[in-house]
């Protein structure tokens, strides 16, 4: 187990949530950290998938969404 400093207001919010749920602050903090790490891992995976999709799209002659619509709107102006 490690010790860290937490903002008093944030700790108070965790205490209130723990009391409400009948759990310990430590349980909630650990759960929140795991959730954050899972989200961060998914974000990394999503970025990798998006990058690969853009590469494949460019190889097939595709155009980025924003560039397509900027050109389209520019033609109408």
Please tell me the total count of domains within the chain. 1
- The per-residue DSSP string of 11-57 comes to HHHHHHHHHHHT--HHHHHHHHHHHHHHHHHHHHHHHHHHHHHHHHH
Q: Is residue 3 part of a domain?
A: no
CA distances from 5 to 10, 14, 45, 59, 65 (A): 11, 14, 31, 50, 44
4-60 tens-digit pLDDT: 898 999 999 989 999 999 999 999 999 999 999 988 888 888 888 888 988 998 898
pLDDT at 67 > cutoff 90: no
pLDDT at 77 > cutoff 80: no
pTM above 0.85, yes or no: no
pLDDT at 75: 59
**What does the alpha-carbon distance between residue 38 and residue 28 come to, in Å, rounded to a whole number?**
15
Structural domain of residue 25, as residue ranges?
Answer: 8-76
Q: Is residue 2 part of a domain?
A: no
């Amino acid at each position: 187990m490690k010790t860290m400093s937490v903002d008093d207001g944030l700790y108070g919010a965790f205490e209130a949530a723990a009391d409400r749920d009948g759990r310990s602050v430590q349980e909630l903090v650990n759960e929140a950290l795991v959730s954050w790490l899972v989200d961060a891992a998914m974000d990394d995976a999503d970025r990798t998938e998006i990058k690969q999709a853009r590469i494949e799209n460019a190889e097939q002659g595709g155009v980025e969404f924003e560039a397509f619509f900027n050109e389209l709107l520019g033609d109408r102006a």
